[in-house]
Amino acid sequence: MKTSKAQQDATRARIVRCAVDLIVRHGYDAVTMKDIAKAAAIGDATIYKYFATKERLILGYFDQVTEQAVRVAHETPDFASYDLQSKLQRLTDALLELLAPDRAFVGVAGDMLKKSPLLLLGDQLQAKLTLKEAVATFLDAAVQQGELPPSDFARPMAGMYADFCYGVMAFWMRDETPHAAETTRFVDQVLGVAVAMLKAGLPDRLVHLAGFVLRSQIARVMDVAVHARPRQDAEVPAAKKRRAPPQADTAGSTRKPRGTRGETTQRKP
């Protein structure tokens, strides 16, 4: 019997939850995909239909948490009326609030990801795509409301926020202050600076400045190339003048012609 999408989502969530519990109790290396399948009450082969590897299952946890964080942020009363910085802060807070009960697991997952950092590269990770799309809508709304000037770099900036969240999680794991006060301060400062830069249109200005410098350098190189050829042509005659003069032509020679034997020998009387 074919399962519905809702049933598949429920099974996926159950697999992830079982994996979190087992890994926290026994450690990442000690838990196998077979152990997780048994705890989730599914077949040994069925689990691979949802997650190809144990590493991908770990990333699946962050996929689910990210989707929930976006949903929680949007469900915040009057969220649509928030300014850009407040929206970003609320989304970041929602993410950390959902991670807090599984802090031990996040630490284990962080150690695993340190050994395989390539897993975090690229935009193919669902968690990064989810965050990128959410922040892109925040930026579009800020532009429409006149809070930000139009920018060609909204998408790249949205992608940078996803990478920023991984940094926040790492900072949060080392934060031992009550209620993660240092993490809150860190997020507020970074987002404040980032939003101020966007309001000033700094990313676009930097790119335009870089383009102006590049065009100026190209024009300078072309100008040097154009003026170099005439100078080379002018140096050719001077080079010829420095050469040794050729030997005099025999036709203009002052040597006396060699006479005949009878002309050069005096005849006896």
Q: How far apart are CA 30 and CA 269, in angstroms?
A: 137
* C-alpha triplet 183, 186, 191: angle, nearest 5°: 125
Distance between CA atoms of 11 and 17, rounded to whole angstroms? 10
Residue tagged 């190189």 (tokens) = 221
User: The domain 53-206: what is its CATH number?
Assistant: 1.10.357.10
Domain boundaries, given as residue ranges, for the chain: 1-52, 53-206
Return the half-sphere exposure (C-beta side, CA atoms, 13 A cut-off) of residue 15: 30
Query: pTM of the entire structure?
Result: 0.74
Least Cα distance to 157 among 136, 137, 142 occurs for 136
CATH of 1-52, one of 1.10.3720.10, 1.10.10.60, 1.20.1050.10, 1.10.10.10: 1.10.10.60
**The residue to which tokens 């003026």 are assigned:** 227
| pLDDT tens per residue across all 269 residues of the chain | 578 889 999 999 999 999 999 999 999 999 999 999 999 999 999 999 999 999 999 999 999 999 999 999 999 999 999 999 999 999 999 999 999 999 999 999 988 877 776 666 655 588 989 999 999 999 999 999 999 998 877 778 888 898 899 899 999 999 999 999 999 999 999 999 999 988 888 766 665 555 556 566 666 666 666 666 555 455 555 555 555 555 555 444 445 445 444 444 444 44
Q: Where are the alpha helices (DSSP H) in the chain?
A: 5-26, 33-39, 47-50, 54-74, 84-99, 103-115, 126-144, 154-174, 181-199, 202-241, 261-264
In whole angstroms, give the CA distance from residue 176 to residue 185.
13
